[in-house]
Amino acid sequence: MNLRQSGKRPFEQDTSEPPAKRPRRSAGMEPDSIEAQILRLRPQDLEEALEIVKLPRESSKTRLDATNSGYEKEQTHLAARERELETIEMGIKIRQGFQQAKDKSAELDREERKIRVKREEIRRELDGLAAQARSLDLPYLMKLTGHHCVRRTSVEAAMDKAEGGGGGVGGVGGRSLQRGLRSQ
């Protein structure tokens, strides 16, 4: 056991202030709490509040239009109703926007799920084909393929010679063609 003390200073707690917390941003989107709060508002409640605010606003406007002098109290009342109306209308608009974005996101999620299912089906199909390919006698297939390719290329070479062209496919593999002709 090492009894020697290290030359390091002991850690002193609370000597420095904690780092300031930064507000979280999620790729330009609003924090979930704001969206959740707005989406919790029912559209029917917002519409009802809008109708309730419109009535006193209209009556204030009517009273101000009837009296040309217009008193201050009625004007402040109208200004307050206007502000309430703007706030509710903006709330309705924002809620509709959040709801549309949420619906589009859900639709994209469904499409992604469909794509994942299709990819999985294709992957299974490819796995099945790979299993079949592993069970295939590949050297025998190569031999058969080479045999048939030599016949085809020998016919093409004969046609090229008859036309006065070069000997073979691009001039490559002339010896293999000759060997193929001899074996036939």
The alpha carbon dihedral of 43, 47, 49, 53 has a sign of positive
Q: Of 106 and 13, which is predicted with more confidence?
A: 106
Question: What pLDDT digit, counting tens, does each position of 105-153 carry?
Answer: 999 999 999 999 999 999 999 999 999 988 888 888 888 888 766 555 5
* Non-local CB neighbours of 31 within 8 Å, separated by 6+ positions: 24
Partners of 29 in the beta sheet? 26
Nearest to 59 by CA among 81, 43, 44: 81
If one counts every other C-beta atom within 10 angstroms of the C-beta of residue 81, the result is 19
Q: What is the pTM of this model?
A: 0.47
